[in-house]
Amino acid sequence: MKVVADYDKCCAAGQCAVLAPDVFDQDEDDGVVVILDEEPAAVLHDAVLRAVTACPGAALRVVR
């Protein structure tokens, strides 16, 4: 699994950072998503998928 973000679509809601804090964070200045781990371990996949689904801006996707 590889995580990809469309930074232009990010609305800085922070759901991703709440749901998968080992994979996502937010930029301190504007709140835009920061991907901490582009290829997370299998143990994190469920959390990543929840974060991708919860993203209100549809800024995140997973490539397998």
Domains of the chain from N-terminus onward: 2-63 (3.30.70.20)
Per-residue pLDDT of 46-58, as tens digits, reads: 999 999 999 999 9
pLDDT band at 64 (very low <50, low <70, confident <90, very high): confident
Give the integer Cα–Cα distance in Å for 23 and 29: 19
Give the integer Cα–Cα distance in Å for 50 and 38: 16
Q: Which residues pair with 4 in a beta bridge?
A: 61
Per-residue pLDDT of 6-25, as tens digits, reads: 999 999 999 999 999 999 99
